[in-house]
Amino acid sequence: MMNTSCPRVSFEFTGRFLPPVYFLVFTIGLVANGWGLKSLLQKWRKLKIINVFVLNLGLADILYLLTLPFLMVYYFKEETWIFGDTFCKMTRFCFNLNLYGSIGFLTCISVYRYLAIVHPVNMMGRLTVTHSVAISVMVWLLVSIQIIPDIFYTKTFGNTTACYDTSHSRYVEVYLKYSLGWTLTGFCIPFLITLGCYGHVIVILCRKNTIDKVLKQRSLKLLFILIVLFSVCYIPYHVFKNLNLWSRVLLKQHKCREWSNGVYIAHQISRGLVCLNSALNPLVYLHGNEAITAQLRQLLQRARQAVSRLSITSSQFSQV
pLDDT at 68: 92
- pLDDT at position 174 is 93
Average pLDDT of span 37-53: 73
C-alpha 268, offset from chain centre: 15
Residue 304 vs residues 29, 298, 314: alpha-carbon distances, Å: 23, 10, 15
Q: What secondary structure, in 3-state letters, does 258-279 show? A: CCHHHHHHHHHHHHHHHHCHHH
Check if the beta carbon of residue 101 is closer than 8 Å to that of residue 109: no
Q: Is the pLDDT of residue 296 over 60?
A: no
Q: What is the pLDDT of residue 314?
A: 53
CA–CA dist 160, 79 (Å, integer): 10
Tens-place pLDDT, residues 5-27: 566 666 678 888 889 999 999 99
User: Using CB atoms within 10 A of its CB, is residue 6 exposed (0-12), middle (13-18) or buried (19+)?
Assistant: middle
Q: Is the pLDDT of residue 229 over 50?
A: yes
- Of 185, 60, 53, 56, nearest in space to 115 by CA: 53
- Rounded to the nearest integer, the mean pLDDT of the chain is 81
Q: How far is CA 310 from the centre of its chain?
A: 38
Contact 116, 147 (CB under 8 A): no
The pTM (predicted TM-score) of the whole model is: 0.83
Higher local confidence (pLDDT), 87 or 37:
87
Q: What is the mean pLDDT of residues 113-129?
A: 77
Show Cβ contacts of residue 132 under 8 Å, excluding neighbours closer than 6 positions: 49, 50, 52, 53, 108, 112
**pLDDT of 297 higher than 70:** no
pLDDT of residue 283 exceeding 80, the answer is no
More confident site: 259 or 93: 93
**94: nearest Cα among 269, 234, 275, 281:** 275
Classified by CATH at the fold level, domain 12-309 comes out as Rhopdopsin 7-helix transmembrane proteins (1.20.1070)
* Torsion, CA 124, CA 125, CA 129, CA 133, rounded to 10: -80
